[in-house]
Structure 1
Amino acid sequence: MRIDYHTHHERCGHAVGKLEEYVRRGIEIGLDELGLSDHMPLLHVDPATYLPEMAMPMDELPRYVEECFELKAKYKGRIDLRVGLEGDYIEGWEDRIGAMIAGYPWDYVIGSVHFLGEWDITDFRQTQGWESRDRLAVYKQYYGAVSKAAASGLYDYIGHIDVIKRFGFQPGADVTDLEDAALETVKRYNGAIELNASGLRTPAAEMFPSRRMLERACELGIPVTIGSDAHQPERLGQYLDEARAMLKECGITQLATFEGRKRKMVDF
């Protein structure tokens, strides 16, 4: 079973390529299942203050879903498409996020923490935000938000759970307890996580999560899915061979797949 559950396309503004280009590329590289999972429109940031190419406009969301289902029907029998959303977790905005999710028939929703307030910790244009903050305090806030996302019941799995490390800003202290507390919350609420291979092309130079966190997730029995986080069609599936190898080294032999918000484990 070859899958890639984390992808983006031109509607989100900071990716390129049309949805159909990703589908054709998925067929080309031999994927059995492809998850289309673009970023949700932002609710907590005034669109007038968006940085360029920051997020999908709200009026594009229904068009995105419609096109996903059109492609699902068009390519039936050639590749199984799953219609998903990467849904930001924003503390205090749970009701609005939940209403947006409830409005569409998703196969799965990824819960990702990109924002601490209006600061996007994953945006290379906003790394100056670290300069005025205590790094350990940022890590504590981040993992607290991850735990709240896992406990919210809004999401099918947590995306790139340790993406806080993306740009190489270290906390200056051991944060194993913070990482493990987040994983334990995922387990407590019967959630799952992804192994996001895109970390290999960032300054962090390792996947999200780290091998240590992945091994801990395995010990806890947390289901894991897999994704390239491709923002260009040619990056679909990038580093997933390495990701599958690491999963097997950690003792993981099944992947989580999703359809109609139901999780199914498959051998790989």
Structure 2
Amino acid sequence: MLFVDYHTHHERCGHAVGALEEYIEAAMAKGLKEIGLSDHQPLLHVPHIEGSAMRMEEMPGYVEEALALQRKYRGQIDVKVGLEADWVEGYGETVRDLLAKYPFDYVIGSVHFLGDWDHTNSAELERWEGRDVYETYVEYYRQVQLAAASRLFDIIGHLDVIKRFGRKPERSVEDLLEQTVVAARDAGVCVEVNASGLRYPCAEQFPSVRVLEMMKSHGVPLTVGSDAHQPGFVAEGFATVYALLKQVGFTHVHGFTGRKRYEIEL
């Protein structure tokens, strides 16, 4: 049985396909209890990059359409209105001001950018060249910890996404991972288990089994997302992810309404 998918993208972001309603219909067809609409926040720290996120002028229409669909599908499936926001150091208050304008059910905070480098973008892979991989991981996890501590977000997205394209340091990052899980715990923030990693060169969900074990040990709550960029990817990989959660010992995932968290029993 499938439960929730809180991470989906749509045509407004420029690198996904399909309208919001198509994702809802796909979720219903797959038997989900809840579907979260969470398109990319407009870029705030760099000028708009075509194909990276919705434009600022599109935000009101996105939220208005999502709320209308929430009403339309009430009683059929719980539609949650969310956003995936970028954490970039120095822009926290700008993000806070933007989020305050809209009645979101939840906000995912993700670290896509280190400076102006989108390390999650396959078009920017060459920017790994000349970088110390371990030091890049150090900086990435420092930013994730700051994102958690900011308390701007309800969910930390794809926590170890820095591994997406298979670049991993030779040194152990166990301490960095544990520090990051503890930061999430101390901030009281939920962590997303993102199934999309199963489709990338890293070939495992975000975060890894080891991080899930740390989360279980530290009592960090979690939710689940597919990071679907087309309707057919809604709940993709969830059979693997939900089985893994039970194997690690999790008994609940979490949902959100009006930025308040609640438990959903597995």
TM-score, length-scaled by structure 2? 0.98
Measured against aligned partners, the alpha-carbon deviations of 1:212-251 in whole angstroms (never above 9, x if no partner) come to 0001100101001001110000110101111000000000
Q: Distance in 1 between matches of 2:187 and 2:72?
A: 36
* Residue 38 of structure 1: how far off its partner (Å): 0.6
Deviation at 1:117, TM superposition (A): 0.5
What runs of 5+ residues in structure 1 fail to find an aligned partner? none
For 1:55 and 1:35, how far apart are their aligned partners in 2? 17
Match of 1:175 in 2: 173
Structure 2 portions without partners, runs of 5+: none
Find the counterpart in structure 2 of residue 44 from structure 1.
Answer: 45
Partner of 1:137: 135
Which whole-Å CA distance do the structure 2 matches of 1:212 and 1:87 have between them?
A: 26
The alignment status of 1:248 with 2:241, answered yes or no, reads no
Deviation for aligned residue 1:95: 0.7
Question: How many residues end up aligned between the 2 structures?
Answer: 265
The answer for the alignment partner of 1:100 in structure 2 is 98
Match of 2:260 in 1: 262
1:203 aligned residue? 201
Q: Distance in 2 between matches of 1:81 and 1:159?
A: 19
Measure how far apart 1:53 and its partner are. 1.0
In the other structure, the counterpart of 1:90 is: 88
In the alignment, residue 101 of structure 1 is paired with which amino acid? L
Deviations 1:52-91 (A, max 9, x none): 4111111011100000000001111111000000011010
Rounded Cα–Cα distance in structure 1 between residues aligned with 2:51 and 2:185: 35
How much has 1:172 moved relative to structure 2? 2.1
Aligned residue identity for 2:4: I
Structure 1 length-normalised TM: 0.98
The answer to which of 169-178 and 143-152 deviates more is: 169-178
Partners in 2 of 1:94 and 1:228 — Cα distance? 26
Structure 2 Cα separation of the partners of residues 3 and 223 of structure 1: 14
The letter for the 2-side match of 1:45 is: V
Distance 1:86 1:113 in 2: 10
Alignment of 1:1-20 (within 5 A): 2-20=3-21
Q: Pairwise CA RMSD of aligned residues?
A: 0.8
Misfit runs of 4+, over 2 Å: none
Please give the secondary structure, in 2, of the residue aligned with 1:86: strand
Offset of residue 143 of structure 1: 0.1
Cα distance, 1:132 vs. partner? Answer: 2.2
Structure 1 window deviating more from structure 2 (171-180 vs 143-152): it is 171-180
- Report sequence identity in percent: 51
What is the identity, as a one-letter code, of the residue corresponding to 2:22? Answer: E
2-structure distance, mates of 1:60, 1:74: 21
**Rounded Cα–Cα distance in structure 2 between residues aligned with 1:25 and 1:118:** 34
* Corresponding residue for residue 163 of structure 2: 165
